[in-house]
Amino acid sequence: MVSGLAVNGHCTEALELFDRMCSEGLKPDDVIFIAVLSACTHGGLLEKGKEVFHQMVHDFGIVPRIEHYGCMVDLLARAGRIEEAIKFTESMHLEPNAIIWATLLSACKIHGNEKLLESLTRKILDQEPNNPSYLTLITNISSSVGRWQDALNFRVATRHQGLEKVPGCSTIQVGNSVHEFLARDIRHPQRNEVEMQNQKLATCWNNHRRVILPSPAHPPPASFCHHF
């Protein structure tokens, strides 16, 4: 329930359910704390996330797993606290994996922190040198900050190694049928109808945004993803 509420955007309700669980004397395990920390991440609740992590370690004596650390790094990175996130990774009793370094690398792009790009890129390549997803991320970020030669080098290296990024995939169940959508896939028999609905949603969001977010200082969430 906590996880379901969190991933569907009901972060406050997820945390209230967790607090209720604790108040009723139920002892949360490490899996519950992953869900709660994820709720804090989805909701941008930095201070609450720190409080929950401290509670997990000091009140319940749970040794953090890499997933707990990942949630905290993501939470700090999304808030622009990149230096703090770096210090947090240095305090971990586990070695940070490529996912954590990639999270920080993406945050550097979003928050305009270019001074850490090279060191983070090196850490990712040390652990996952042949991962096409990470190579694509590094290439795109290098291009976005004007490091064209680096971007070209990564792109050429990817091609020489014959690496290819796995296309993004989404599935949805309608009745008894499961529909799968791949990025740039045009094979779905109802492609046109799906695209029309997607355009309607985009228009609806834009109209809604003009009403509730008139200031350009408040950007929308992630843009609508077009699979076709």
pLDDT-derived band of residue 184, with 50, 70 and 90 as boundaries? low
**What are the sequence ranges of the domains in the chain?**
168-228
pLDDT for 60 equals 93
- The set of residues, in sequence order, having a beta carbon less than 8 Å from that of 161 and lying 6+ positions away, is 130
Distance of alpha carbon 222 from alpha carbon 71, whole angstroms: 19
**What share of the chain has pLDDT > 70, as a percent?**
75
Distance of alpha carbon 40 from alpha carbon 50, whole angstroms: 9
Q: Say if residue 79's pLDDT is above 70.
A: yes
pLDDT for 148 equals 56
Helices assigned H by DSSP within 161-190: none
What is the pTM (predicted TM-score) of this model? 0.64
pLDDT for 223 equals 43
Q: Say if residue 100's pLDDT is above 80.
A: yes
